[in-house]
């Protein structure tokens, strides 16, 4: 026997429609009901109830829209409606219609509710079974105790690699963090549903983590109620205009004045500011945190990332979403895969030393904190430019290629008019070096100094992000210089929250950290930069010591 919620609706009363099912607006479409959170789903006790409630609500909306004088009896409902409601499935009973006397009651019962997804019966799986499907050729994920086989989902908007990172794991919290419009994404995910998790008790989560998950979800709902996920159009209009103004100033100064060193450097400075600030702003559009419609975010993202910055939006999404899904996780986060030049954390230096010792290839990683000043600024003008173009061609992202091509057409059509082709190339290289230095200082100060380790799927979303992320103190300059990524912790917890609202949720996050004794790291900008060098020096020293010990052990064994 299953309990369903029944209520009357003003539209139903006005149209003299009696005994109708009405589903409160707070109910989310399956499979995104979260029965542990009463505020999100106050009437359904499990996923099956949520599914049936949703189907009935859709039928009611159609009947109300038709303004018929009375809801027809079950036997007169059309075949299409019955198909929607599940007729013909095993053990299906028609839903009960409520008469006038029953309207005073808040509940009505029906037996054997049916899940309407497709015609095959769904299974129940243990976590041991689910974890066996954890590679890119066979990947299952779990969202709110529902199991999905996403092996063949080749058009996942966030990329297939993100799905790989959560294969065989519970992706519920990551799913909520990345998707703001649950009703929209539901239509994609339903097709991959194959069953349910038998129980949650054998997951590697402690009772403390389960409580933390609940508290964090409560915090998310509080942020929603405070409208912290709604962007300020005024803020983003000013932000975009100031980027365009600095780029215009760069061209104006270069063409208005002669090419002596002062106007030349001023022009490069203005262009560097435009490019760096464009990087922070395209980041917001890439996270779909500005407009409510994803398509609008994508259009503006293409403009700023492609036409203003000269890079591929799809390449950025491909790399950045992995970083957010598994920050500082070895072999998951692209920002940790820097081994040709840099070794991060404690585990990677040891692993790399074992490989180097095996092949007797000694690379001076112990000096990485010194050549950081040379190699890091070259990431943007050399490595990133090569990777972004390679990505667009290899994956046939022709729209991205068109946008970034317009950047180079613009740049090398205008700058050579004043500086010549060789002078334009020098100008471009210096611009990218300065921009790259700015980017590296900000991006690495939040993560490289924190824990870098292998994947631990037992960690909750909150613990995973706090373990890998730190903040920089708030000030008007720091907010502008970092594009509000000085609130990196809050950004990682709520990646779709507009950056101008991140500071508003900070006190609540700090309080949650205090409650569960989780370190909340915040430091001055200068200290954060120095910690990058300290961390690199430590990792390089670990590599050298491990390498020499292994070489010595191998030599002793040979003798």
Q: Is the pLDDT of residue 556 over 60?
A: yes
Q: How far apart are CA 424 and CA 417, in angstroms?
A: 9
Q: Find how far residue 234's CA is from the centre of its chain.
A: 25
Q: Is the pLDDT of residue 344 over 50?
A: yes
Residue 179 phi/psi, 5-degree rounding, is: -115, 120
pLDDT at residue number 383: 84
Q: How far is CA 76 from CA 67, 380, 407, 490, in A?
A: 16, 66, 62, 54
The domains found in the chain, sorted by start residue, are 2-110 (no CATH), 123-203 (3.10.120.10)
**Number of helices (H), then strands (E), in the chain:** 21, 10
Model pLDDT for residues 466-517, shown as the tens digit of each residue: 999 999 999 999 999 999 999 999 999 999 999 999 999 999 999 999 999 9
State the pLDDT confidence band at 32, using cuts at 50, 70 and 90. very low
pLDDT at residue number 49: 60
Q: CB-based burial of residue 540 (10 Å sphere; 0-12 exposed, 13-18 middle, 19+ buried)?
A: buried
Q: CB-based burial of residue 66 (10 Å sphere; 0-12 exposed, 13-18 middle, 19+ buried)?
A: exposed
Is residue 550 within 8 A of residue 357, CB to CB? The reply is yes
Task: Tell me the average pLDDT across 202-215.
Answer: 74
**b/e code 511-527 from CB counts within 10 Å (16+ = b):** ebbeebeeebbbbebee
Radius of gyration of the chain (CA): 28
Largest CA distance in the chain: 97
Q: How far apart are CA 464 and CA 554, in angstroms?
A: 38
Task: Tell me the average pLDDT across 364-392.
Answer: 90
Q: How far apart are CA 84 and CA 119, in angstroms?
A: 12
Is residue 268 within 8 A of residue 250, CB to CB? The reply is yes
pLDDT at residue number 47: 56
pLDDT at residue number 554: 87
**What is the DSSP code (8-state) at residue 68?**
-
Is residue 448 within 8 A of residue 336, CB to CB? The reply is no
Task: Tell me the average pLDDT across 180-191.
Answer: 82
Element (H, E) at 227: none
Task: Tell me the average pLDDT across 194-208.
Answer: 70
Q: What percent of the chain has pLDDT over 90?
A: 64
Model pLDDT for residues 421-450, shown as the tens digit of each residue: 999 999 999 999 999 999 999 999 999 999
Is residue 341 within 8 A of residue 375, CB to CB? The reply is yes
Q: What percent of the chain has pLDDT over 70?
A: 76
pLDDT at residue number 54: 58
**What is the DSSP code (8-state) at residue 228?**
T
Is residue 480 within 8 A of residue 498, CB to CB? The reply is no
Angle CA(329)–CA(331)–CA(332) in degrees, nearest 5?
Answer: 55
- 46-60, 107-121, 488-502 — which one is most confidently predicted on average? 488-502
Instruction: Name the residue with tokens 């808040």.
Output: 106
Is residue 523 within 8 A of residue 531, CB to CB? The reply is yes
Q: Is the pLDDT of residue 279 over 90?
A: yes
pLDDT at residue number 59: 59
Q: How far apart are CA 309 and CA 290, in angstroms?
A: 19
Residue 118 phi/psi, 5-degree rounding, is: -155, -175
What SS3 state is found at 118? Answer: coil
Q: CB-based burial of residue 204 (10 Å sphere; 0-12 exposed, 13-18 middle, 19+ buried)?
A: exposed
Q: How many CB atoms lie within 10 A of CB 214?
A: 12
The residue among 323, 308, 335 whose CA lies nearest residue 242 is 308
pLDDT at residue number 112: 36
Model pLDDT for residues 521-545, shown as the tens digit of each residue: 999 999 999 999 999 999 999 999 9
**What is the DSSP code (8-state) at residue 453?**
B
Q: How far apart are CA 489 and CA 468, in angstroms?
A: 9
End-to-end CA distance of the chain: 78
Q: How many CB atoms lie within 10 A of CB 507?
A: 9
Residue 142 phi/psi, 5-degree rounding, is: -120, 130
Q: Is the pLDDT of residue 331 over 90?
A: yes
pLDDT at residue number 187: 78
Tokens of 107: 């509940």
pLDDT at residue number 269: 97
pTM: 0.78
Model pLDDT for residues 542-553, shown as the tens digit of each residue: 999 999 999 989
Average pLDDT for the chain: 82
Task: Tell me the average pLDDT across 51-60.
Answer: 60
pLDDT at residue number 62: 52
Q: Is the pLDDT of residue 108 over 50?
A: no
Give me the half-sphere count of Cα atoms (radius 13 Å) on the Cβ side of residue 435: 26
Q: How many CB atoms lie within 10 A of CB 417?
A: 11
Is residue 37 within 8 A of residue 210, CB to CB? The reply is no
Q: Is the pLDDT of residue 11 over 50?
A: no
Q: How far is CA 311 from CA 267, 278, 305, 316, 403, in A?
A: 21, 11, 6, 8, 8
Give me the half-sphere count of Cα atoms (radius 13 Å) on the Cβ side of residue 504: 17
pLDDT at residue number 71: 36
Q: How far apart are CA 25 and CA 40, in angstroms?
A: 10
Q: Is the pLDDT of residue 116 over 60?
A: no
State the pLDDT confidence band at 339, using cuts at 50, 70 and 90. confident
Q: Is the pLDDT of residue 83 over 60?
A: no
pLDDT at residue number 61: 53
Q: Is the pLDDT of residue 329 over 70?
A: yes
Is residue 311 within 8 A of residue 305, CB to CB? The reply is yes
Task: Tell me the average pLDDT across 184-207.
Answer: 76
**DSSP per-residue string spanning 383-397:** IIHHHHHHHHHHTT-
Is residue 149 within 8 A of residue 134, CB to CB? The reply is no
């Amino acid at each position: 026997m299953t309990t369903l919620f029944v209520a009357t609706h003003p539209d139903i009363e006005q149209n003299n429609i009696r005994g109708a099912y009405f589903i409160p607006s707070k109910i989310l479409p399956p499979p995104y009901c979260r029965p542990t959170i009463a505020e999100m789903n106050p009437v359904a006790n499990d996923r099956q109830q949520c599914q049936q409630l949703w189907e009935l609500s859709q039928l009611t909306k159609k009947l109300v829209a038709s303004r018929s004088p009375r809801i027809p009896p079950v036997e007169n409902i059309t075949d299409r409606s019955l198909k929607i409601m599940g007729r013909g499935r095993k053990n299906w009973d028609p839903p009960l219609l409520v008469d006038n006397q029953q309207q005073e009651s808040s509940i009505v019962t029906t037996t054997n509710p049916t899940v309407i997804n497709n015609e095959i019966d769904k299974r129940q799986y243990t976590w041991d079974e689910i974890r066996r499907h954890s590679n890119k050729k066979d990947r299952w994920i779990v969202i709110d105790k529902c199991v999905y086989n996403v092996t063949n989902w080749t058009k996942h908007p966030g990329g297939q690699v993100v799905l790989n990172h959560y294969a065989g794991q519970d992706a519920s919290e990551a799913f909520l963090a990345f998707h703001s419009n649950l009703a929209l994404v539901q239509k994609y995910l339903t097709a991959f549903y194959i069953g349910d998790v038998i129980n949650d008790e054998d997951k590697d989560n402690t009772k403390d983590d389960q409580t933390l998950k609940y508290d964090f979800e409560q915090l998310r709902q509080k942020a929603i109620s405070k409208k912290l996920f709604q962007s300020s159009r005024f803020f983003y209009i000013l932000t975009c205009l100031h980027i365009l103004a600095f780029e215009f100033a760069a061209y104006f100064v270069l063409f208005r004045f002669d090419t002596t060193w002062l106007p030349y450097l001023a022009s490069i400075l203005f262009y560097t500011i435009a490019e760096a600030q464009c990087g922070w702003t395209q980041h917001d559009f890439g996270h779909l945190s500005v407009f409510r419609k994803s398509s609008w975010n994508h259009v503006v993202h293409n403009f700023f990332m492609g036409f203003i910055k000269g890079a591929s939006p799809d390449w950025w999404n491909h790399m950045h979403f992995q970083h957010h899904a598994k920050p500082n996780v070895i072999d998951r986060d692209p920002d940790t895969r820097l081994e040709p030049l840099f070794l991060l954390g404690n585990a990677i230096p040891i692993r790399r030393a074992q490989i180097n010792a095996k092949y007797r290839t000694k690379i001076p990683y112990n000096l990485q904190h010194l050549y950081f000043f040379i190699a890091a600024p070259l990431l943007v003008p050399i490595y990133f430019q090569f990777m972004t173009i390679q990505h667009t061609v290899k994956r046939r992202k022709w729209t991205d290629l068109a946008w970034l091509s317009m950047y180079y057409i613009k740049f090398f059509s205008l700058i050579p008019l004043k500086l010549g082709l060789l002078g334009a190339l020098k100008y471009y290289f210096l611009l990218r070096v300065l921009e790259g230095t700015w980017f590296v200082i900000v991006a690495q100060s939040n993560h490289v100094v924190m824990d870098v380790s292998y994947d631990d799927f037992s960690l909750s979303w909150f613990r995973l992000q706090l373990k890998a992320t730190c903040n920089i103190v708030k000030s008007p300059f720091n907010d502008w210089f970092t594009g509000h990524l000085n609130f990196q912790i809050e950004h990682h917890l709520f990646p779709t929250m507009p950056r101008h609202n991140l500071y508003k949720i900070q006190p609540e996050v700090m309080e949650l950290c205090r409650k569960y004794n989780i370190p909340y790291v915040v430091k001055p900008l200068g200290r954060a930069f120095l910690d990058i060098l300290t961390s690199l020096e430590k990792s390089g020293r670990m590599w050298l010591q491990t390498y020499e010990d292994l070489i010595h052990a191998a030599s002793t064994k040979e003798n």
